[in-house]
Structures are given as C-alpha cells and as structure tokens.
Amino acid sequence: MTTEEVAKKVVELVRKQAWHEALDTLYDKEIVSVEATAPESRGKEAVRGKIDWWVNAMEVHSFKASEPFVAHDRFVVQYDADVTEKESKQRRQISEIGVYTVKDGTIVREEFLPRV
C-alpha cells in the first residue's frame, strides 16, 4: 500500500474505533509508538497494551478523525475525542495530532502530539 492508502485506512478504522484491526493489519512488528508524556513503546504487543488500556479506561462519547495529510513516507491525522475516564468520572475533550511514518506499506512509527 502507498502512504496515502495506509493513511485512508487508518482514518477509516479509527472512525470505527477498530483499534485492534488497525494494529493487526497496518502496523509493522517493530512499531515505535511515542506519546507526549510516556516512554516510547516498541513492538505490536506494547501498542496492543496501550489499546487495551484505552478501551478499558475510557467511555468514549465521540471520536473524530480528520481527513489525512500526506507526503512521501509521512501522514498526519487530527483526532478530537470526547471521553469520560471511567475511574475518576472526569469528562474531557482531547485534541491530538498523530504523525505516522510508513515503510513498505506498514506503519513503523507513530507520534501523538497534544494541543498546547
């Protein structure tokens, strides 16, 4: 798949919150995943752990993904989520950018940048 094809597939799956399908079909086994406030995660199982944490911790009221921006081996998607953290009952709006790097048709790196 081209970078644009991977980007469109990510957006399609994220809009369905089909996190596991995205991981299983689009991610490289050596994926490096970087959050603003956590150490780097490496490998599919680490990303699976993040997905499981998210699904268990959050009640998701809405999750929006922008159309992708694409050039060369990179694409960017903006996410806007409205969630309640189940434990604290705290509701909050998350606005974040995902910057993805594609190699040989799979995602090898993802970085998430919150709005400041």
Q: Which is nearer to a second copy, 1 or 76 (CB)?
A: 76
56 and 48 Cβ atoms separated by less than 8 Å: no
Tell me how far apart the alpha carbons of residues 9 and 80 are, in angstroms, rounded to a whole number.
18
27 and 45 Cβ atoms separated by less than 8 Å: no
Site track 29-68 with a second copy (rule: CB under 8 A), x = hit: -----xxx------------------------------xx
Give the interface with a second copy as residue ranges (CB under 8 A).
4, 7-8, 34-36, 67-72, 74-76, 78, 95-97, 99, 111-116
